[in-house]
Amino acid sequence: MSEAESIIAETADRIFSDLADALTINRATSNDWQRPLWTALTEAGLPLSWVAEELGGSGISLAEGFSVIAAAGRHALPVPLVETMVAGWLLAQAGIASPENPMTVAPSSPRDRIFFNSDGLLKGRARGIPFAKDTKHIAVIAETGKGFIVALVSASACRIEAGESLGGDTSNNILFDGAKPVMSKPAPLNFTPMSLMMMGAAARSLQIAGALETLLNLSVAYANERVAFGKKIGSFQAIQHNLAQLAGEVAAALTASGSAADAMAADPISDDALLLEVAAAKIRCAEAAEKGAAIAHQVYGAIGFSREHILHRYSLRALAWRDDFGHETYWATELGKSVSARGADELWPLVASR
């Protein structure tokens, strides 16, 4: 991590620790804590990290922005910071200025398709869009008869259905039934919905890895404090084995997600090498989320399953993020298609080149 990335990550960590503490949020009876948090994030320029200064953003690099996303994952941040960052990045691809308010992005599932008709209106449905009910604008990539367009759409112009993710965050289906964009421009050459899926998958992989890192730290601390049968449970061999396995899952998730982020930062345009990195990261991080969450809750026992405890803030979000921007089965299939298309002789050179 470069010095600039470290400074930006430390800034984000400090804001999250001061204004988005998991225990404080868990005890909150309203969402009043969100306003000072978003104000601090905006003043630091984090929501529009990947938007050029001439378009109203901070203009930091992809690598620096990924360090913010990793920090957001470590805090299991329950506000649409990452979604706004990805939405701003999408709009910037077409030179569209981003609004200052929180945004989300669509589609977030590779199965969903949005169309931009000749009359200038959008049609289609996008499922499971994170925080759609909590934002005022949606960044969209849509199909035309000749390619793709990027559009900024007001949430009030769409039909948004109520919904909630496994982690308790807003997750909505959106109907673009004749919605008129605030602004739309052609997408760059070779920029497709798959480009958005890969950026979103890389971001979610970093978030999963960050949440698992916190789960590990919480579990180790608890094992060294909790006493059973006159001994700290961390001294029992079974607990030590579980924590070692959890540490291995965290290390694998951090390595895979970090490699995908590095590849995306180097060249965010879709190709086979980038697909390999992103697909491998999403697959491995999703697997780690399933195993890691189970181990952490085993270490904590019954108390970890209670709503009053903060453990679920990390475990359930890590599990929920597996499905955003393509679940592991989708990415495994896409990776298999890519390898098959290249032929058996090209597999090892592709893997070795990474």
pLDDT tens-digit readout, 204-221: 999 999 999 999 999 999
pLDDT at 115: 96
CA distances from 280 to 131, 142, 191 (A): 26, 26, 21
For residue 228, is pLDDT > 80? yes
Q: Over range 98-110, report the average pLDDT.
A: 95
71-77: average pLDDT: 97
Go through the domains of the chain in sequence order and give each one's CATH number: 1-77 (no CATH), 102-189 (2.40.110.10), 193-352 (1.20.140.10)
Q: What percent of the chain has pLDDT over 90?
A: 81
- Which residues make beta-bridge pairs with 183? 152
Q: Six-digit token pair at 143?
A: 């199909």
What pLDDT was estimated at residue 269?
61
Phi and psi torsions of 82, nearest 5°: -65, -40
Does the pLDDT at position 268 exceed 70?
no
pLDDT digits (tens, 9 = 90+) for 141-179: 999 988 999 999 999 999 999 999 999 999 999 999 999
**Residue 352 predicted with pLDDT over 80:** no
- The most distant pair of C-alpha atoms in the chain lies apart, rounded to whole Å, by 74
Total-model pTM:
0.95
Cα 33 off chain centre by: 22
| Euclidean distance between CA atoms 134 and 84, whole angstroms | 11
